[in-house]
Amino acid sequence: MLIEATTESRGRIFLATKTYEYLLKASGALIPLLGIWYLQEYQSPLLCSVEHTFHNFAVFAAILVGSFVAIVTWHCYRFSGEPFLRWLTLGFIGFTVIYAPHGLFTSISELHMALFLLYGPASRLVMALLLFIGLLSFGRGEDTQAERDNHTRWLRWAVFFFLIDIFIALVAETSLLKLVSWRIWMESGALVIAMVGVMIVLVRHRSSPLMMTYALSLALFAQSSIAFLLAKPWNHQWWYAHILFAIGFFFLSYGVVRAFHTTGAFSTVFSVEELMSRLRVEKNNTEGALHQLQAANAELAWMASTDSLTGANNRRHFLDEIEQELGRAKRNGLPVSLLALDIDHFKAVNDEYGHQAGDAVLMAFVEVIRETLRPYDVLGRVGGEEFMVLLPDTSHEAAAVLAERIRSRVESMIMPFDGTTLSVTVSIGVAEFGVDGDSQDAVFKAADTRLYQAKHEGRNRVIS
């Protein structure tokens, strides 16, 4: 109950903190509106600051930054093939090409105000439109390599942007200027497109950190358009609108740089929460794979050291066990004995009843021996029907007693098989390390000699 209550409380706190986080982000994104309101309410629109030199420098910096960010975005697109980045690149290029005349005509702004002013809203409208199209393509499949390498496409768009420059000049210097309020319509279009883009990001892509940066940029672009709509050329609101657009541009370029330095794509850069979630999943997967690997290694180790039919140690592992036990016995001065066992007339069982019967005998034989041995005694299968038992802390006499117990139990063993019963006997030779020799070979030879002596004397007996 306490754990459930704690979990429920943590869930409520998590929801509250998430709501607070979103409110902070929304408040931060909308703070520029206070500046717009303040300038509109408390600053005279006639209060102007005509700074041609500074304006030219600002436009030059915007073009320089726009060109740089366009190149970085293009490289991201070439790497990832993300359609969203293709449209983002076009948006940066379009803004740079269309905005450039705005700076060129600064010096004649008093004489040709329309020519000076229209390039600003035109560049923002084109950029907003291309960014919006890119937003609609977010998450779609990658462009092919041929599409990424298609330089003709970029050239056609560049020509299109230059044609827009020419069209704006025609509008400003001909009677087309009087048809509609071009500046109001273009700025309003950029405002609406940016606001719709913000809503789409918040509804569809709010879990992506770079897309939230994208939404913040669009929000700043929208507020700059509001400031431009309220402003008069060169007044404080007009300069403030430029600042808001520049901030939005810098945020957007930050997102591009983050993509370039990480995955090369907007869609595969994750938030901290999503990264932690993915890390937890991958950690669980890794731990599961590790457990499976450990189990597989344990099974392989068992298979490498065990006789697959009987479950007894195989010859190689049995010899390794002898080396370890002898080392321990020598350090502690303890006796170690060895039994050599061979099932009597085992070949006759195979010949008369078949190999399946022989396998059944071997398994039953090993089971009887295991039931007789102590937990730390070591049983090994060293041949077809030949076995050995290592007896730590056991003298020659005690080993002979145990061997006789094994012989007796095997003799009384009855195994039903295929409508008949099988029975076998065993011959056993006993040897002790140190008494019958100091090396493995010497003790093995002694145990084998006594085993064959038991066979020679009629089988079904222990020779010690």
Catalytic machinery residues = 385
Q: Which of 198, 243, 204, 192 is nearest to 216 (CA)?
A: 198
- Read off φ and ψ for residue 99, nearest 5 degrees: -80, -25
Backbone torsion region of residue 139, taken as left when φ is above 0, otherwise alpha when ψ lies between -120 and 50, otherwise beta: left
Q: Which of 354, 457, 459, 348 is nearest to 410 (CA)?
A: 459
256 CB neighbour count, 10 Å cutoff: 25
- Read off φ and ψ for residue 377, nearest 5 degrees: -70, 155
Give me the amino acid identity at 415.
M
- CA distances for 213 relative to 66, 208, 218, 245, 379, angstroms: 17, 9, 9, 14, 70
245-249 long-range contacts (CB < 8 A, ≥24 apart) are: 245/124, 245/220, 245/221, 246/58, 246/62, 247/32, 247/220, 248/216, 248/217, 248/218, 248/219, 248/220, 248/221, 248/224, 249/62, 249/65, 249/66, 249/69, 249/217
Q: What is the rounded CA–CA span in Å between residue 194 and residue 220?
A: 9
Using the Cα atoms of residue 34, residue 40, residue 44 and residue 47 in order, give the sign of their dihedral.
positive
Please work out, in degrees rounded to the nearest 5, the angle formed at the alpha carbon of residue 133 by the alpha carbons of 131 and 135.
70
Residues forming a β-bridge with 428: 341, 462
